[in-house]
Amino acid sequence: MKDVGKLWYVLGMTVERNREKRRLFLSQELYINNLLASFGMQDCKSASTLQVPGSRLLPRADTNAPAASINYPRAIDLLNYLVTCTRPDLAYSASCLAQFLNNPRSEHETTFKHVLRYLSGTQTWGISLGELGDNSVVTAYCDSDWGSNFDSRMLFLSPQLKRNTGQDVCWLLELVSDFGLDVKAKLLCDNQGAIALLKNPLYQHQTQHIKLRLHWCRQLLNEGDISVEYVVTNLMVADVLTKSLSCVFHQTHCAALFIL
């Protein structure tokens, strides 16, 4: 093994270090350029949003509807790699588009190309890691999603999401403790009812439909491992991962996640 210098590029990601500020910035501008070129979108007009706010995609029910003209599965694979590495702001759109891998139609292709237009205007964006400063609190946002799947009317319960979020937070706290850091965790939610259910055990007999394992977060709260606070919906940063937003809210939430 030999020292070949500073790491600056790996697996399609550009690595920038700021040791004074203890910051690591990861981006994929070259990868995005190649992605745009592979679909003939390198000279496209950029878009400020991933999707039209409030829009939704439907399955291809009509067999006579035009099919997608691109290699749709490959397109989604390329998009998912961006999501996994440096661009979690693409997660919602990538998730929506991935639901139609089996039978994509032209509408899904159009939406994918709209995402490419968004990428065209945000090629230099990436994710910034580090620079915690005096912040010794791990902050997690928990967003309930009521019936966002218009085809099956699926419901993701806030208590269940809190349990899942709480597990992720506990795992992260264990990880940072291995580095000698002593931090606390704060869980932010925009559902007052779910917070009341978590903090007040008197509500338990009224929620027998919720399995006991969903009350696991209450134990974390009582033991002081996490705290739970209310946040207004407009400040729910997790919305950028669960729905299509207007340009202002999308960019605000991205900045809060250090995606810029």
Q: Residue 242: in which H helix or E strand, if any?
A: helix 239-242
Please state which of the ranges 45-49, 174-178, 256-260 shows the lowest mean pLDDT: 174-178
Q: Residue 155: in which H helix or E strand, if any?
A: strand 154-156
Confidence class of residue 131 from pLDDT cuts 50, 70 and 90? Answer: low
In whole angstroms, give the CA distance from residue 11 to residue 231.
Answer: 37
In whole angstroms, give the CA distance from residue 131 to residue 46.
Answer: 31
In whole angstroms, give the CA distance from residue 90 to residue 52.
Answer: 14
pLDDT tens profile 34-72? 999 999 999 999 999 998 766 677 776 666 667 788 999
Q: Supply the pLDDT for residue 174.
A: 80
In whole angstroms, give the CA distance from residue 254 to residue 237.
Answer: 8
For 9, the token pair is: 């590029």
Q: Supply the pLDDT for residue 30.
A: 96
Check residues 59 and 132 and name the one with the higher pLDDT.
59
State the average pLDDT for the chain: 82
| Position 91 pLDDT exceeds 60 | yes
| Position 82 pLDDT exceeds 80 | yes
| Position 223 pLDDT exceeds 90 | no
Q: Supply the pLDDT for residue 134.
A: 55
Mean pLDDT of 238-244: 89
Q: Supply the pLDDT for residue 47.
A: 94
In whole angstroms, give the CA distance from residue 239 to residue 249.
Answer: 9
Cβ 189 vs Cβ 230: under 8 Å? yes
| Position 248 pLDDT exceeds 90 | yes
Cβ 244 vs Cβ 53: under 8 Å? yes
Q: Supply the pLDDT for residue 63.
A: 60
| Position 206 pLDDT exceeds 90 | no
| Position 79 pLDDT exceeds 90 | yes
Residues in the chain: 260
